[in-house]
Each structure stands twice: as C-alpha cells, then as structure tokens.
Amino acid sequence: MTPGSGLQAGLKNRHLSMIAIGGVIGAGLFVGSSSGIATAGPGILLSYALVGTLVVLVMRMLGEMSAANPTSGSFSAHADRALGRWAGFSIGWLYWFFWVVVLAVEATAGAKILEGWMPAVPQWGWALIVMTVLTATNLVSVGSYGEFEFWFAGIKVVAIGAFIVVGLLAIFGVLPGVHADKASFGNLTSAGGFLPHGPGAILTGVLLVVFSFMGSEIATLAAGESEDPQRAVTKSTNSIIWRIGVFYLGSILVVVSLLPWNDPSIAKDGSYVAALNSLGIAHAGELMNFIVLTSVLSCLNSGLYTASRMAFSLGQRGDAPKVFAKTTSRGVPLAAIIASVLFGFVAVFFNYKFPDSVFLFLVNSSGAVALFVWLVICFSQLRMRKIIQREAPEKLVVKMWLYPYLTWATAALIVFVLGYMLTDTKGESSGRTTVLLSVLVAALVVGIAVIKEKVVGRRAVPAAEAEPADKVSVG
C-alpha cells in the first residue's frame, strides 16, 4: 500500500451513534454485576448511580474539550496542551497499556465461551482466531471497524433493551405465558432491606463496578475520523445520561427485582442468566453466553482501535516511534495497530503460561488507569476552558456545568475513590494492590516523560504527518 496522508473520515454518523451507545456497555456489566450484587445487595443500584454520575460529569468535561478540538488523541492531546508534554505522554501511554491488557482479558473470556461450544479447538486457538480476525478488520479501514462495531454494539443494545422490557412485564405480572413467582419490586427491600450489608457496602460496590464503565470515552477518539467531528462529540456527550440510566441502572434494577439479591443462582449462573432462568426462558444460559461473546468481541474490536489511535496520536506528537504516525492509503495506522496487537498476543501468552504472576501483575498494574484518565480529564478541562475562551470562544459548543466548582468536586470524588480502594485488602487483586501497582507504573511512565522532555526533547512533526490544523488546534 502507498503511504497515506493521515487518518480519514471513514466513520458514518450511524457508526458514531452506535459506538457512543455501545461504548458504555462493557462485558463487565454482564460478567461482573453478580459480585456487586452479592456485596451490596439492592444497594448496588446506588453504586452504579454514583459511578454513573461520575462518568457523566467526566464525559461532559471531555465533550467540552473534544467538541472544540476533535482529535484521535482525545484527552491525551488535551492534557498535552493544557498540562504539559509530560501529562499527554504519560496518560497516553498508560491508556494504551490499559487497552492492550484488556485485549488479552477479553480474548481469553471469548475463547472460553467458544471452546464450550466447539471443544475441538483449544482455548488458546480461539483466542488466536478472534484476535486475528479483529486485527484484520481494523487493518482494512476505519469503516470496516465502524461496521463491525455497529453490529456488535447493536446486538448489545437490542439484548439489554429486550431484557428490560421482558423483565418489567414479568415484574408487573403481564408477561404472557410466564409465571414468575419471585418477581416483584418487593425484592428491593424484602431480604434484609435495601442495604443488607450497611451503607459502607455502597462504596465497596463502587470499587467493583467502576471499571465496567471504561469505554465511554471511545466516541471522542473515533470522532476525529468522522465527517462532522463536532456534531458527533456533542451528540455523544448530550446522550450519556440516558444511556447510563437505561442500560446500567435500568437493567440492574430489573435483575434485583426479578430475584432476591441473595438468591444462590445469581452467584452460580451470573446475574442476567439467573434473571432469565427465573422466568423459565428456554436456553437462557446459551442466549446470554452469545450476548456476552458479542460484548467481548465488541470490547476487543474497540480496544484494538482505541489503542492503535492513541499510539498514532503519540507518534504524531513525537512521544512514540515516528512510524506509528504513518498511515496506509486507506488511512489506517498500520504500525500502531500491529504494535498494539502484538503486545496483546504477548499478554494472552502470559495469561496462559503465568496467570498468577506476570499476567496478574499486568492486570493489577493497569487496573486504576481508568481513574487516572478521569482525573487528568478534570485537570485538563480546568486549564483548557480558559484557553478555548481566549483563543476560539465560538468553539465552546459543549460546556461543563457549574464550572469550575463541579469539576473540582468531580476530581475530589475520584481521589476519594482511589483513597477508599487503599482500604480494600482482600485477595490478590485487592483495591490496595491495584492502586499501588498502578501508581508504581504511572510513576515510572511519568519519570520517563520528564526525562525525555528534559534530555531528549521533542522531535518536530513534519506537516505532512500531522492532522489537519482544524483538528489539532483550538485557535
């Protein structure tokens, strides 16, 4: 392929809309919600509401900056300008690290489901197959990524929508042909009350659910490759409230209303499967496995896309090898994709060979990156608002509410969550272990950034490799 002149606007409006909707629905919602329910009971709804509010506020800040300055580097590029080169370098590489580890986690989760259906192919074989197929779709063009994600996300959205409708009909006793004896809103308070383990369980629940929200920011990275980036970011930002309200709070409300929170089947089969089984729906387990597989593939697809675009942006800014910023004639950052997927393959290998040592370290050391990203977005927005107002006030089409007070309050809440994680000492993947290892890796990356800035300096980016001026500058 002949070299290209940068990323291309290959994502259609329907792609962006579904990426934005599907981005908030991670596989963690299906897989991890049962442990949250066991920890906090029906009060897990407050945990989801608290984290959901946090995400809405952070996305509002990111939307403000990205609508004024749509770029493939998103919050990393904003941090670069607002806080300094060290910040853009550090958060960009940490975010890349987070997603390439996620590639291994999701590939393994998908492989387990596929092996259950077709055991003739070993689990590592399925992991290799799904990684290879999704790498191929990302290598073809951004449009092929968008098309795959459109259908993956579409299946998730339809599945959760149908689950909520069917569940509500059962709760109100009007679902034809189904006799759901346990289904009732009374389940919210019947088994030990709404907070059976006390108010403190709400914060413990927060630690369990916070990471299932990671991915909300993908739409702002993808907007840089759409026909109308500003419109795409604005639409995505404005719709985040109802998306979280419906898909997270709505579906979890249905789960804890269909069954008592302490029903053994929730822990045994998973919250959504147990809820469907309680209605006597045939093949509920296999149906949910298919939906989880779709979510896993969606996460893999978006994870590879996101990691490669962040690597591309870092390459453009001189913070990664120069080859990462080169694109093919189709506008695909070939080297950035290959580098991301290769690290993903290495992580998959570690997951199979050293699951309790090397891979556990990778997972724990990337676990708090989501909170670091959100914190950096807060501090970037505090500085970027003034820059936009000074240089191009007409681009301030999305505004953070109650600036700067709500921004400071959001940052304080994130710091509080990180601090509370330090009190969690249970297990090898405890909150304390995750925070301390993540801080260790973050300190290492920041150290490299500072040394690079002082000793090496930043190489100038040739104009031909840079994004168009209206995409990389506010003014």
Is the confidence at residue 465, as pLDDT, over 70? no
Q: Give residue 474's pLDDT.
A: 40
pLDDT digits (tens, 9 = 90+) for 382-410: 999 999 999 999 999 999 999 999 999 99
> Domain boundaries in the chain?
13-472
Q: Give residue 3's pLDDT.
A: 52
Alpha helices in 228-283 (DSSP H): 229-244, 251-258, 264-269, 271-277
Residue from 12, 28, 60 nearest 410 by CA = 60
Stretch 12-19: mean pLDDT: 81
Residue from 23, 89, 104 nearest 81 by CA = 89
Establish whether the linkage from the previous residue to 70 is cis, with ω within 30° of 0: no
**What is the maximal distance between C-alpha atoms in the chain?**
72
C-alpha distance from residue 16 to each of 7, 158, 230 (Å): 16, 17, 12
Stretch 59-70: mean pLDDT: 92
C-alpha distance from residue 297 to each of 113, 290, 302 (Å): 11, 11, 8
Residue appearing with tokens 């050391």: 365
pLDDT digits (tens, 9 = 90+) for 190-246: 889 999 999 988 988 888 888 788 878 888 888 878 888 888 888 888 888 888 888
Quote the CA–CA distance of 143 and 125 in Å, as a whole number.
27
Residue appearing with tokens 């995505």: 236
Residue from 277, 288, 262 nearest 37 by CA = 262
Q: How many CB atoms lie within 10 A of CB 150?
A: 18
129 by Cβ neighbours in 10 Å (0-12 / 13-18 / 19+) ranks as middle
Is the confidence at residue 9, as pLDDT, over 60? yes
SS3 102: helix
Nearby residues of 225 by Cβ (< 8 Å), 6 or more positions away: 7, 8, 9, 10, 11, 72, 142, 331
Quote the CA–CA distance of 217 and 232 in Å, as a whole number.
12
What is the separation of C-alpha 341 from the centre of its chain, rounded to a whole number of angstroms? 17
pLDDT digits (tens, 9 = 90+) for 285-313: 788 888 888 988 888 888 899 999 999 99
Stretch 113-128: mean pLDDT: 91
Nearby residues of 341 by Cβ (< 8 Å), 6 or more positions away: 103, 131, 135, 304
As a whole number, the mean pLDDT across the chain is 86
Q: Give residue 63's pLDDT.
A: 92
Report helix angle 334-353 to 284-316, nearest 10. Answer: 130
Structure tokens at 394: 């007409």
According to CATH, the topology of domain 13-472 is: Amino acid/polyamine transporter I (1.20.1740)
What is the separation of C-alpha 325 from the centre of its chain, rounded to a whole number of angstroms? 24
Q: Give residue 207's pLDDT.
A: 83
pLDDT classification of 181: cutoffs 50, 70, 90:
confident
Query: Could you say which DSSP state residue 282 is in?
Result: T
Is the confidence at residue 95, as pLDDT, over 90? yes
Please provide the distance, in angstroms rounded to a whole number, between the alpha carbons at the two ends of the chain.
34
Stretch 250-269: mean pLDDT: 92
Highest mean pLDDT among 18-32, 214-228, 333-347: 333-347
SS3 317: coil
Q: Give residue 187's pLDDT.
A: 92
Tell me phi and psi for residue 445, to 5 degrees: -65, -45
Q: Give residue 470's pLDDT.
A: 37
Contact 337, 144 (CB under 8 A): no
